[in-house]
Structure 1
Amino acid sequence: MNSHLRALLASLLAFDTTSRESNLALIGFIRDLLAQHGVASTLFYSDDGRKANLYARLGPAGDGGVLLSGHTDVVPVDGQAWTMPPFALTERDGRCYGRGSADMKGFIACVLASLTTFLARPLRMPLHLAFSYDEEVGCLGVRSLVAHLQASPEKPALCIIGEPTGMQPVYGHKGKVAMRCQVRGHACHSAWAPSGVNAIEQAAKLIGHISGISESLQQTQDARFDPPFSTLQVGTIQGGAALNIVPQDCQFDFELRTLPDADAESVLKNIEAFARSELLPAMQAKAPESAITFQPLGAYPGLLTDPQSDVARWLADWSGSAAFSTVAFGTEGGLFNEAGIATLICGPGSMAQGHKADEFVAVEQLERCMQMLARLCAWMRAG
């Protein structure tokens, strides 16, 4: 690994960009680095001004070209047994350790280290750079940047998202919808339990219905994905105040991960219809203030790019691998794809190391990523 790439990775890892924190210091670092190379940046700030996406472009004016995209936020280290500093680069035995090294500051470091290569001679098409925030909490931040690109007359034709795939090209992943359900019942002393509306019991009935839908989703399968069907599960639940009080409130969160061509909206409507028609009438007959409400927590679309397309063939050439696959985790790829930008995923490292204590990316993976970017650069110059 060359010293320039090592220094850039060390700088990026030193910023604590956990999703709950600001990413502005890291974004400022990238903006200043680009400015040193004569490349201007545009920032798209969050509503509270604490975070920002960064967008930049190199090369000639006009539409088309290639977009390299990565998210700057990382997951927390709380409760994890790290044996080395999480927000610093530790290089050992051919591995680079640090929070975000695999997911996905390793890729961003490779892109920044390749700037001199892309700028050395004129490109025949634009190179776009996009670095986002809040990907780890539902692909929330990148949407303003995607909207800008969608409306731009100079929209890129192809997007490569550098999530950790072991440098294997990826053409698809499932979509996700996360929801919160809040059940309001009627409290009373447990000695007169039939007089109350037990929010936990009503939530349990709804969760049972969700479980039944989950089983039915397994009937539609696509062997390209693992598991090969859409999934639906309840992840958290809270409710009740004391054993001798009929619980007034219960709240649970659930998520739906759908095959790219599945209809998530029909599943959500089914759940809401069951609550409205099967549970609420009896609840409100006993206590009119009873209610069941649903709140979206986040969503992103699935991705399914044709692995036989020209853009897939190009990425196979650049990455040195024609072994296309899908991944189980989600990315911002579906959002770029919905904006009319053909999107594929390929980056250094493995998600098997991401989100864990002592997260790392192998030096060999970073070097392969640098080779991919060099081949991309050569293709973007070729007449």
Structure 2
Amino acid sequence: METGKILERLIAFPSVFTSEDYTAITDYAISLLAPLGIACHRIEAPGGGRAGLFAATGPAGPGGIMLSAHLDVVPVTGQSWQTDPFVATERDGRIFGRGTSDMKGFAAAAIRAMANASRRRLAQPIKLALSYDEEAGCVGISQMVSSLEKTIGLPDLCVVGEPTGMQIVTGHKGKVSRRIEFRGSAGHSAGAPGHVNALHLACDLVSALRVMQEGIAAKGPRAEGYGVPYSTIHVGSLKGGGALNMIPETATLEFEIRHLAEEDIDGLLHRIDALAAQIAGKARDTRPEAAVQITEFNRYPGFDIAPGPETELLAALGAHLPAGKVDYGTDGGVIAAQGIPVLVCGPGDISRAHRADEYVTNAELSECDAFLERLTEKLETGLPVTRPTSPPA
């Protein structure tokens, strides 16, 4: 079973996270593993249309190491690809296709490692987590994780194979995403002073968020190792208005906060809620129907692990030091919240992700294969890692 061949098949599944149904890619992974006697637990999404997988080989129960990957990818709409994004195309030592770096390359290598390990006598198990809808904000693993202990058992360590160039990553930020809808009053633009323009209310909040961001950058918690060493507030969408001569009755903005573990995220959100309420309250002096509604539609935790035996283990297996941190999110934060030590390390480069002509190199896949082979050999003799007895409070 070759990583390149598995990757070719994985790329052929257009498992875009916005698709109605992409369960076929999970079923393909199961079709490779189950016939080898590997315990496979298919986790159906609550709404259907996608499925995850927990799998294990070796001694049953807790312990061992779990490899983690997501099978979904971002859309290709509007991107100018030189090749079909859902056909793995090899050229000059590079394999092009959507998800090659992020992160079907690691998924393919992990499936191969599981297959090879199934023929070995392991002292501790090797486990696999394949999630869905990671690109929607770690939605899949959040829905799956409650089944982890009762299916394959909690591992001693989880390696999330996001594209780090095989560098060891010891932490990433958490994220909260919210939608804020302001309501003003409809009317003709000629009478604008007597109405409340909902777009103006939303823009007032955007201005306040920018001031808040400046304060966080200047005086907020900082953590070295990140590209941006403080929490960030980002407004990514602002919609409202239908015609130039109509006063916008509603306006909706969406923002995210990517926060450090040290950040008081609930305190920060409370401040934003208070600002939005203050803006809407002032507008009611002009029109009593002015209002604001706030909806949180995604949240996942970050994680931060101090360098120690886990990083030493991965380095001994061929992963790269010095250890670093990343500003983007992974399934690792959700897994770490279960009390499981997590490190991020995988082939490819995040700078190639979400872009046209995404690729991973054959050399990167070979390096990952060698790393996972050494990991399997280590599991034959056992690991110097102790499983936590309970999740953190």
TM-score by length of structure 2 reads 0.93
Residue 245 of structure 1 corresponds to 246
Measure the CA separation in 2 of the matches of 1:247 and 1:322.
Answer: 54
Distance in 1 separating the partners of 2:14 and 2:115: 27
Q: What is residue 321 of structure 1 aligned with on the other side? A: 320
- Cα displacement (A) at 1:58: 0.8
CA distance in 1, matches of 2:231, 2:48: 36
Shift, 1:150, TM fit: 5.1
Aligned partner of 2:353: which letter?
A: G
The yes-or-no answer on 1:128 pairing with 2:127 is: yes
SS where residue 243 of structure 2 aligns? coil
Q: Cα gap change, 1:153/1:25 in structure 2, threshold over 3 Å: closer, same or farther?
A: closer
Q: CA deviation at 1:243?
A: 2.1
Q: In structure 2, the residue corresponding to 1:142 is in which secondary structure?
A: helix
Q: Matched residue of 2:121: which SS?
A: coil
Please state if 1:271 is matched with 2:272: yes
> What residue is the counterpart of 1:334 in the other structure?
333
> How far apart are 1:6 and its partner, in Å?
1.9
1:150–1:339: 8 Å Cα contact kept in structure 2?
Answer: no
1:83-232 equivalence runs, <5 A: 83-149=82-148, 154-218=153-217, 219-220=219-220, 221-232=222-233
1:189-220 CA-to-partner distances (Å, cap 9, x unmatched) read 22222221111111111111111111111123
Which ranges of structure 1 fall in alignment gaps of 5 or more residues? none
Matched residue SS, 2:167: coil
Once the two structures are TM-superposed, the CA of residue 118 in structure 1 deviates from its matched residue by 0.8
Is 1:290 the counterpart of 2:287? The answer is no
Q: What does residue 10 of structure 1 align with? A: 8
Distance apart, 1:319 and its partner CA: 2.8
How far, CA to CA, are the matches of 1:281 and 1:324 in structure 2?
Answer: 48
Q: Separation in 1 of the partners of 2:73 and 2:171?
A: 22
Question: Match of 2:311?
Answer: 312
Counting only pairs closer than 5 Å after superposition, residues 11-90 of structure 1 correspond to structure 2 as 11-21=9-19, 22-90=21-89
- The question of whether the paired residues in 2 share the 8 Å contact of 1:186 and 1:199 is answered with yes
User: Which shows bigger deviation, 113-122 or 296-305?
Assistant: 113-122
- Paired residues of 1:147 and 1:339 also in contact (CA < 8 A): no
Residue 263 to residue 129, structure 1, CA distance change in 2 (3 Å)? same
Aligned to 2:260: 259
CA distance in 2, matches of 1:153, 1:74: 26
Alpha carbons of 1:322 and 1:377: their partners in 2 closer, same or farther (altered >3 Å)?
same
- Taking a change above 3 Å as real, the CA distance of residues 153 and 102 of structure 1, as seen in their structure-2 partners, is closer
Matches within 5 A, 1:338-353: 338-353=337-352
Change (3 A) 1:342 1:35: same
CA contact (8 A) 1:235 1:254 kept: yes
**Paired letter, 1:275:** A
Tell me how far apart the structure 1 counterparts of residues 240 and 207 of structure 2 sit (CA, whole Å).
17
Rounded Cα–Cα distance in structure 2 between residues aligned with 1:228 and 1:117: 40
Residue 56 of structure 1 deviates from its aligned partner by: 1.0
Query: How far did residue 153 of structure 1 move?
Result: 8.8
Q: Which amino acid aligns with 1:230?
A: S
Unpaired runs of 5+ in structure 2? 383-393
1:151 Cα offset (Å): 6.1
Counterpart residue type for residue 165 of structure 1: T
Q: Deviations over 1:106-139 (max 9, x none)?
A: 0011112223431222111121111000001111
Is the CA contact (8 Å cut-off) linking 1:240 and 1:249 kept in structure 2?
yes
Q: CA deviation at 1:354?
A: 1.1
Counterpart contact for 1:158–1:311, Cα < 8 Å: yes
CA contact (8 A) 2:169 2:345 kept: yes
Contact 2:58 2:126 in 1 (8 A): yes
**Aligned equivalents of 1:47 and 1:115: distance in 2?**
27
Q: How far does residue 161 in structure 1 lie from its aligned partner after superposition?
A: 0.4
1:188–1:195 contact (8 Å) kept in structure 2: no
Instruction: Check whether the contact 1:23–1:72 (CA below 8 A) recurs between aligned residues.
Output: no
